[in-house]
Amino acid sequence: MTDKIGVAILAAGLGKRMGVEIAKPLIPLMGAKLVDYSIDAASSFASSANLEVQFGIVVGHQKEAVETHVKAKHTAHKTSFPVQKEQKGTADALRSYFDGCDWAKETKYTMVLCADTPLITSKELEELWSELKNKNLSAVAASFETKNPYGYGRIVRAEKGFAIIEEKDATDAQRKITEVNSGLYIFETELILNRLKNIDSNNNSGEFYLTDAFEPSGNVSPVCFSSEIPFLGVNSPVQLSTALHQLKLRTNEEHQARGVLILDRAHTYIEPSVSLDAGVTIYPNTFLHGNTEIKAGSLIEPGCILKDSKISSQVTIKAYSYLENAEVQSQCAVGPYARLRPGTKLGEQCKVGNFVEIKKADLDKKVSVSHLSYVGDAEIGENVNIGCGFITCNYDGESKHLTKIGKNSFIGSDTQMIAPVEVGESAFVASGSTINQDVPSQGFALSRARQVTKEKMASRFLKGKWAIEKKS
Regarding 183 and contact with ligand UD1 (CB under 6 A), the answer is: yes
Regarding 55 and contact with ligand UD1 (CB under 6 A), the answer is: no
Q: Where in 219-238 is the site for Mg ion (CB under 5 A)? A: 233
Q: Of 5, 7, 10, 363, which one interacts with ligand UD1 (CB under 6 A)?
A: 10
Residue 211 touches which of ligand UD1, Mg ion, none (Cβ within 5-8 Å per kind):
ligand UD1
Nearer to ligand UD1, 129 or 209 (CB): 209
DSSP codes joined into one string, 82-118: -B-SS---HHHHHHHHHHH-TTGGG-SEEEEEETT-T
Name residue 344's amino acid: T
Q: Where in 216-235 is the site for ligand UD1 (CB under 6 A)? A: 233
Options 4-12, 28-36, 73-81, 276-284: segment touching ligand UD1 (CB under 6 A): 4-12
Nearer to ligand UD1, 17 or 448 (CB): 17
Regarding 181 and contact with ligand UD1 (CB under 6 A), the answer is: yes
Regarding 447 and contact with ligand UD1 (CB under 6 A), the answer is: no
Strand positions, DSSP E, 226-296: 261-262, 269-270, 275-276, 281-282, 287-289, 293-294
What is the per-residue binding string for Mg ion in 62-101, x denoting contact by CB under 5 A? ----------------------------------------
Q: Of 35, 58, 156, 234, which one interacts with ligand UD1 (CB under 6 A)?
A: 58
Nearer to Mg ion, 119 or 317 (CB): 119
Distance of closest approach, residue 148 Cβ to ligand UD1, in angstroms? 12
Q: Give the total of residues touching ligand UD1 (CB under 6 A).
A: 27
- Radius of gyration of the chain from its Cα atoms, rounded to whole angstroms: 31
Nearer to Mg ion, 10 or 274 (CB): 10
Distance of closest approach, residue 359 Cβ to ligand UD1, in angstroms? 43
Q: Of 153, 347, 381, 412, which one interacts with ligand UD1 (CB under 6 A)?
A: 153
CA 382 to CA 385: how far, in whole Å?
Answer: 9
CA 157 to CA 178: how far, in whole Å?
Answer: 12
Residue 115 burial class via C-beta count within 10 angstroms: exposed 0-12, middle 13-18, buried 19 and up: buried
Q: Where in 89-118 is the site for ligand UD1 (CB under 6 A)? A: 89-90, 92-93, 114-116
Burial 424-457 (b: 16+ CB within 10 A, else e): bbbbebbebbebeeebeeeeebeeeeeeeeeeee
Cβ atoms of 423 and 440 within 8 Å: the answer is no
Q: Give the chain's count of helices (H) and strands (E).
A: 7, 37
Between the alpha carbon of residue 237 and those of residues 20, 78, 271, 443, the distances in Å are: 9, 32, 19, 63
Distance of closest approach, residue 122 Cβ to Mg ion, in angstroms? 22
Nearer to ligand UD1, 238 or 446 (CB): 238
Q: Which positions ≥6 away from 21 have C-beta within 8 Å?
A: none
Regarding 88 and contact with ligand UD1 (CB under 6 A), the answer is: yes
Q: Is the peptide bond before 420 cis (omega within 30 degrees of 0)?
A: yes
DSSP codes joined into one string, 179-193: EEEEEEEEEEHHHHH
Distance of closest approach, residue 399 Cβ to ligand UD1, in angstroms? 50
Distance of closest approach, residue 235 Cβ to Mg ion, in angstroms? 5
CA 268 to CA 284: how far, in whole Å?
Answer: 5
Q: Which long-range contacts (CB under 8 A, 24 or more apart) does 354-361 make?
A: 358/326, 360/400
Q: What are phi and psi of 64, to 5 degrees?
A: -65, -45
Give the residue among 276, 279, 268 at the shortest CA–CA distance from 304.
Answer: 268
Around 365, how many Cα atoms within 13 Å sit in the side-chain half-sphere?
A: 5
Residues annotated as catalytic (active site), given as ranges: 371
Regarding 31 and contact with ligand UD1 (CB under 6 A), the answer is: no
Q: Of 180, 192, 326, 386, which one interacts with ligand UD1 (CB under 6 A)?
A: 180
Nearer to ligand UD1, 84 or 107 (CB): 84
Q: Of 6, 13, 347, 424, which one interacts with ligand UD1 (CB under 6 A)?
A: 13
Q: Of 36, 40, 124, 166, which one interacts with ligand UD1 (CB under 6 A)?
A: 166
List residues binding Mg ion (CB under 5 A): 233
List residues binding ligand UD1 (CB under 6 A): 10-13, 58, 84, 87-90, 92-93, 114-116, 152-153, 164, 166, 180-183, 209-211, 233
